[in-house]
Structure 1
């Protein structure tokens, strides 16, 4: 008797649970939105690297070079809030063949230059003052968040248009969005910096630009599930 009651209870619960599940007609589509803009600022990561056999002398030489670099950056009227020391290191390097220890000192400064007209002068000056390694040059937009928002809106519109095209032949309509997944990416063009110079003079004395800034492409990709009416 108890087994029969238990069986009927389980069967009733299963039937009730099955009645509660409703199949919702959905269409799943992907949408893409792209916004291309000209950069209005550049982020530069540059390093002074010094090597030698005496740790104290290596550090002193490296500090002197970086001090000259920072003074030059200030001379270029770059606000103090737009540049900072990113990394400082002094590491021993042991040569097992010669059985000698040498030292490598590095200091990295990160600069955000908001006046692109000063780019060539700044880069050449950095090298002249002691920078011997350009780690990264990234052209960016100060209005990135605004353009990301625009790209997302375009991506959502693209998804809805696709969904409407698919279901129009079935005589159905696209209803509310059921689920939305977003994955946005930003592309920063990184130019080649040949021989640490940004321009060269030809035989006629004219300036030939060797750097193409390009455009920033902000892309938004969304996956949307729409309810079908």
Structure 2
């Protein structure tokens, strides 16, 4: 009797384990995956001008201090707030161990419009400073524009999902997954230099026309945001 009971116990245990090993059939929820994108072109409202003053310029005509004075005059005439917009980037100065060197300083100037950038460039040339160049432009409040585009992109995705669902007599429910694909920073690098133009202007005679300086303009920057969204598909309409 004990042997029979023991045998029945093993059979019951095996049957229970076997049932547990059978993969559970999960109900797959009907869904629709869509992508949404939105983009806009904007005019940059920030630019960086790199300015270098060097004792080597004009065959050592001015000392570094004199060049700094000329730079201050140029920026003031261009209407620039040097304390707020100008910063020292790098410098190479004489020391006790290196006295006989040509010193230089490089500054970075932040401007807000193409017109201001043009005024600065013109003022630099007028003050014999040839080491100026426009290095990059960008949008200061890019995040606000980006956030607005994200909203547009997800609304576009929802609209497309609704259209697809209605085409088969269904409707969409809640979003169950959202993926966002960050866009690259909206910065455009430029390299508008003054030196060659200034040298041409200095080389002409009194009877010749001075070449026009290059006019500065900020090209539009395109910002784009992309999302993908998965919506639940509600049952077919009756």
Q: TM-score, normalised by structure 2?
A: 0.63
Q: Does 1:42 align with 2:46?
A: yes
Kindly tell me: are residues 141 and 33 of structure 1, through their superposed partners in 2, closer, same or farther at Cα, counting changes over 3 Å? same
User: How far apart, in 1, do the equivalents of 2:209 and 2:66 lie?
Assistant: 38
Which of 70, 76, 87 is matched with 1:84 structurally?
Answer: 87
Residue aligned with 1:155, SS: helix
On the 8 A contact 1:33/1:154 being kept in 2, the answer is yes
Q: Which residue of 2 aligns with 1:153?
A: 151
On the 8 A contact 2:139/2:187 being kept in 1, the answer is no
User: How far apart, in 2, do the equivalents of 1:147 and 1:51 lie?
Assistant: 44
On the 8 A contact 1:48/1:108 being kept in 2, the answer is yes
Matches within 5 A, 1:140-179: 140-179=138-177
User: How far apart, in 2, do the equivalents of 1:169 and 1:10 lie?
Assistant: 45
Which structure's residues are more often strand, by fraction?
1
User: How far apart, in 2, do the equivalents of 1:105 and 1:11 lie?
Assistant: 85
What count of residue pairs does the alignment treat as equivalent? 203
Which of 100, 114, 117 is matched with 2:115 structurally?
Answer: 117
On the 8 A contact 2:134/2:192 being kept in 1, the answer is no
* Unmatched 5+ stretches in structure 1: 53-57, 92-101
Residue aligned with 2:116, SS: helix
Residue aligned with 1:124, SS: helix
On the 8 A contact 1:192/1:211 being kept in 2, the answer is no
On the 8 A contact 1:191/1:211 being kept in 2, the answer is no
Q: Which residue of 2 aligns with 1:55?
A: none
User: How far apart, in 2, do the equivalents of 1:38 and 1:9 lie?
Assistant: 69
User: How far apart, in 1, do the equivalents of 2:24 and 2:103 lie?
Assistant: 70
- RMSD of Structure 2 on Structure 1 (CA): 4.2
Residue aligned with 1:34, SS: strand
On the 8 A contact 2:135/2:190 being kept in 1, the answer is no
Kindly tell me: are residues 106 and 166 of structure 1, through their superposed partners in 2, closer, same or farther at Cα, counting changes over 3 Å? farther
Residue aligned with 1:159, SS: helix
Deviation at 1:32, TM superposition (A): 0.7
